[in-house]
Amino acid sequence: MNTKHLLFTFSLVAVAAFASAQTKTVANPADANKGYIVKVGDTAPADFELALTDGTKTSLQQLRGKVVILQFTASWCSVCREEMPHLESDVWQPYKDKGLVLIGVDRDEPLEKVKGFQQQMNISYPLALDPGADIFGRFANKKSGVTRNVVIDRDGKIVYLTRLYDKQEFASMLKAVDALVNSKTASLN
């Protein structure tokens, strides 16, 4: 009876390990897209308007012909706060006069909070409001987190996607941005 009990226990452990491995295998593809519903090479969704904190409005349609980075952010996001000074110094300041537009898209926070956040972070690139995370939802699953950058070429194609703030990924994004800004051709594909 002891042997049967031991075999039964071993079988349960083996089945549990197999099930766990299967769950991880299924979850990996979701990790690979990092919660995005768009991918590199797609035309960026452009059926929305960006309401900036200064009261002006723009859209990806209006920005066609420029390299655009949409940085999805929120005041409560610590990783966003870590990344934003680098976006200001390494992306916005060097490229803002070279045909690049960087817009922080603040997830579902009111105007006054977003203005305060921009001031706290000491950033000069514009922030836009995203009530209900509707803009965010055009690029990523709404249940996914912020701290994302979507790099869009002059033709409106997505050429780079980031998630969280990883120094190596950020450096790769910078190379892509530099190539786009300093190239007469619109795409890296």
From first to last of its 189 residues, what are the pLDDT tens digits of the chain? 565 554 444 444 443 443 333 333 333 344 457 899 999 999 999 999 999 999 999 999 999 999 999 999 999 999 999 999 999 999 999 999 999 999 999 999 999 999 999 999 999 999 999 999 999 999 999 999 999 999 999 999 999 999 999 999 999 999 999 999 998 544 443
The pLDDT of residue 106: 98
| pLDDT of 31 | 46
Which amino acid is located at 168 in the chain? Answer: Q
Spatial distance between the Cα atoms of 151 and 165, rounded to a whole number of angstroms: 15
In this prediction, residue 19 carries a pLDDT of 39
Query: Given this model, what pLDDT does residue 153 score?
Result: 98
The CA-atom distances, in angstroms, between 38 and each of 44, 118, 133, 152 are 8, 27, 16, 12
Residues 120, 76 contacting (CB under 8 angstroms): no
Name which of 189, 116, 104 is nearest 155 in CA terms: 189
* The pLDDT value given to residue 186: 42
Q: Which two tokens stand for residue 63?
A: 């920005």
Task: Say which DSSP state 131 is in.
Answer: G
Which residues are paired to 162 by β-bridges? 149
Q: Is 94 exposed, middle or buried (0-12, 13-18, 19+ CB in 10 A)?
A: middle
Quick one: CA dihedral 62, 88, 126, 162, positive or negative?
positive
The sheet carrying 50-52 orders its strands as 57-58, 50-52, 127-130, 100-107, 67-73, 148-152, 158-163
- Give the pLDDT score at 183: 85
pLDDT of residue 74: 98
Q: Do the beta carbons of residue 165 and residue 147 sit within 8 Å?
A: yes
Query: What domains are there in the chain, each with its CATH number?
Result: 63-182 (3.40.30.10)
